[in-house]
Structure 1
C-alpha cells in the first residue's frame, strides 16, 4: 500500500507543478487513492466535512477578518507610525520598522497575507522614496510578513494543534522564540545591507520636540496596541479560548476602526468582509481535501510504514532531523503553509516522537519551515503577493529575498531543530 500512497503523492506533486489549483491537486490524489488503493470516497468525504464542524476552526476566519479590518481601517498605519518614531531617523531604521511592524500585526491577525496587505502599500513606497531599492523593500516586507505565522496567535499553529491533538497554547508559545529571533536577524541583515543604499534620512529634531512627537504618536497608536494585549492576554491568562479571543478581536477592531481612526467606512467594511470571505473559502476547501488525503494515509498505516522505512536508512537523530527539515522545506516550496501542515504533521509526528522530539518542539520546527516555504519559489505565495503590491519585477525581488532566507530563516531552522530550549522554554514556564 505504501507504493500506492507514494504514487498518489507523485500525482499531487505533478499536478502542483503544472499550476493546477490546490483543491483539484488534492482531488486528483484522492481519486488515485480511491481507484487504486481501495479507499472509500463516500466515507472519507463524510469524515472530512464532519471535521469542519470543529469549533477550533472558527477562530481562523475570525482572525483573518480581524486582519482585513486592520488593513482597511487605519489601525495598521497607526502601528507603523508608532514604531517609526523610535527608529525612523536611524540609517536602515525604516527596514527595522518593516520587521517589527509585521511582527506586531502578525500578533493580531495570525496571517502572513495580512502583513503584506496591511504594511506593503504603506511601507514599500515610503522605503523606495527614502532610497531603498524597490525590489529590496518588497522582499523585506514579504519576508517579515511571515512572522505572522510564528508570532502568536498563529493560524498555522491552530491547525497543527488541531490535527495532532496538541495544546494550541503550547504551540503558540513554541514559535515565539524562533519568531523573535528571525525578526532580530532580519533587522541585522537590513542594517548591513543599508550600508550600500543611498538612503535619505529624516532630519534630527531637538530632544524636546522628539519626546513630544513620540508621546503624540504613542497616544494615537494606543487603541491599536491594546488589541494584541487583549487577544494574547485573554488567551494566555486563561480568560478566553483562541476562538473567543478571535471574536473579541473582531468586535474590538470594528469600533476602533470606525470611531477612533475613522478609516473604516461601510464600503471598506464590505470590502474587508469580501476579501476575508474569499480567503477563508479557499482555506477551508484546501483544509477539507488535504484532511481527507492525510486521513487515508493514516488509515492505511502509512506513517508507521514511513517510520520503519526511514529507520532502515538511519537511526541517527541528527541525520533524521536534517532529512525532515529538507522534506518540510521542499513541501513548503510547492504548497501553502496550512496544506503543508495538514499533509505532513500526521505523517511525520510518529517519526519525531520515535526519536525523542515532543509534539510541541515539532510544532516550532514545522512552523519555521512552512514560513520559509512561503517566500521560496516555486510556490512563494507571500512573495508573489508582495511583488503585486510593490509593483516590481520578480527578478528584482528574488536576490534580496534569498539573502534574507539564507541569513534570517535558515539559521533559525537549524537552531530550532537542534536547540530545543529556543522553542520549549516558554511552554515549560507555562507548565506545558
Structure 2
C-alpha cells in the first residue's frame, strides 16, 4: 500500500508542474509524516548523507569546466577544427555540428552545456546556410547526446556514486560507444543529405590542405589536450576521477586566462556563479533522491520491480532489454538526470541479481537517458535547441524521428554486444 502511495504522490506532483527536486522532498515528507514507524528527525540526516560522497565533488567541478570553456572562447576554436575536418562533406555544416560536439564532449560531460554553448553558434550558422530551423535544432540537440557518453561524464559520475561502480571504468567504457555514436549520427546526416531531406550545404567545395588542418589543430592544441590529460591521468593512476575534475578546472582557467587570454577575474567570478546555479539544482535532487531511495526500499518497491522484470524467467540480456524498453518510455516524461538519480538505486539490485556487468549497464542506461533528453515532451536539450531555433516542438519532433530511430538501433546494438563497452575497462582494469 505504501508503494502505491509513493507512485500516486509522485505522479500528482509532476502533473501539477512541481520541480522534480521539490517533488521528491514533498513526497518524502508526506510519507514520513504518515508513517508511525519512521521518525521525521531522520530526514535531515539522510538528506545530508546523500551528499556525503567524495565522487560527487567532481560534478560541480566538471560543470565549471564546461562553463569556462564555453565562455572562454574554446568553442570557437573547436568549431574551426571541426570545419577543416569535415566541412567539405555533403551536409558539411551538419557534420561539423556533430564533430564539434564529439570534440567538446572531452571537456564537459553535460548535454546542456553543449547545446547552450555550441548551439548558439551552430544553429544560426546552419539556418543562414540554408538548413531548415527544425533541422538545425534537431542536429544540435542530437549531437549533444554524445557528450555524456565520451568522458568526462556527469551522468557516469552520478550513476557511479549511486551504485558504487568504478567511475574510471565507466569513463573508459564510454569511449568506444561515444565515438561510434558520433559516426552513426554522421551516417544518418549523410543519408538524409543524399536523399534530399536536408540541405547538402558544406563549408567548402573541396577538402582543405593539410597545412590548414594543422594550423587549426595548432590554434586549438591546448584545448584539445584536455581529454587526454583527464582520461590519461585516470587510467595511469595519477589521479582519481574526482581529482581529475579539479585538474580540469585549473587547466581550463590556465588555458583561457593565460594562454588564450580570453577571460579575466570578473568574468571568472560570473562563471563560478553560473556553475553554482546549475549544480545547486543537481545536488538538491541527489540529496532528496537519497531519502526517496531509502523510503522505496523500506516500502519494498524495488522488490516489486525486480519481481515484475524477472517474472519471465529469462536470462540477463532479456531482462536488460525489458528494463531498457521501460526506460525509453519513462524517459519521454521524466527529466534524464532525475531518472538516473531516482532509478539507479532501484535498478542496481536487479543488475546484481541478473549478473549484468555494472559498467555495461551504466553505459546503456546513460545512452538511454541521452535519448530521453532529446525526446518530447520533457527532453531538456530538445527544448533548448528548439527555443534557440525558434521552432515549435511539433516541427522539432517530426524532424527528430530518423535520428531517434538510429540512436535506439545503436543502443540495442550496444546492449547485445557488451564487449564494445567492456573492452577498454578490462584492458586497463584487469
Q: Shorter-chain-normalised TM-score: which range?
A: over 0.9
* Alpha-carbon contact 2:306-2:350 (below 8 Å) kept: yes
Q: Which moved more, 1:388-397 or 1:83-92?
A: 388-397
Distance change (3 Å), C-alpha of 1:114 and 1:17:
same
* Alpha-carbon contact 1:79-1:221 (below 8 Å) kept: yes
1:300-322 deviation line (CA, Å, top 9, x unaligned): 443234323443x3112354333
Distance change (3 Å), C-alpha of 1:63 and 1:198:
closer
State the match for 2:429 in structure 1.
431
Q: Does 1:48 align with 2:47?
A: yes
Equivalent-residue separation in structure 2 for 1:332 and 1:48 (angstroms): 25
Q: Does 1:201 align with 2:175?
A: no
Other structure's SS at 1:148 match? coil
Equivalences for residues 102-113 of structure 1 within 5 A = 102-113=101-112
State the match for 2:209 in structure 1.
210
Distance change (3 Å), C-alpha of 1:261 and 1:351:
same
Q: CA deviation at 1:36?
A: 4.1
Q: TM-score, normalised by structure 1?
A: 0.92
Q: CA deviation at 1:94?
A: 2.0
Aligned length, in residue pairs: 426
Q: Which moved more, 1:114-123 or 1:266-275?
A: 266-275
Equivalent-residue separation in structure 1 for 2:296 and 2:289 (angstroms): 11
State the match for 2:376 in structure 1.
377
Q: CA deviation at 1:66?
A: 0.6
Q: CA deviation at 1:337?
A: 2.6
Q: Does 1:188 align with 2:184?
A: no
State the match for 1:250 in structure 2.
249
Distance change (3 Å), C-alpha of 1:255 and 1:386:
same
Equivalent-residue separation in structure 1 for 2:138 and 2:91 (angstroms): 15
Equivalent-residue separation in structure 1 for 2:71 and 2:31 (angstroms): 44
**Any gaps of 5 or more consecutive residues in structure 1?**
none
Other structure's SS at 2:107 match? helix
State the match for 1:177 in structure 2.
176
Distance change (3 Å), C-alpha of 1:291 and 1:191:
same
Equivalences for residues 275-424 of structure 1 within 5 A = 275-311=274-310, 313-317=311-315, 318-407=317-406, 409-424=407-422
* Alpha-carbon contact 1:124-1:390 (below 8 Å) kept: yes
1:177-207 deviation line (CA, Å, top 9, x unaligned): 33222211110111111231444434446x8
Equivalent-residue separation in structure 2 for 1:135 and 1:266 (angstroms): 38
Q: CA deviation at 1:280?
A: 0.5
Q: CA deviation at 1:238?
A: 0.9
1:239-277 deviation line (CA, Å, top 9, x unaligned): 111121111111111131123333324443333222211
Which residue of 12, 15, 18 corresponds with 1:17?
15
Equivalent-residue separation in structure 1 for 2:107 and 2:274 (angstroms): 17
Equivalent-residue separation in structure 2 for 1:132 and 1:188 (angstroms): 18
Equivalent-residue separation in structure 1 for 2:166 and 2:58 (angstroms): 15
Q: CA deviation at 1:394?
A: 2.5
**Any gaps of 5 or more consecutive residues in structure 2?**
none
* Alpha-carbon contact 1:120-1:390 (below 8 Å) kept: no
Distance change (3 Å), C-alpha of 1:282 and 1:110:
same
Q: TM-score, normalised by structure 2?
A: 0.93
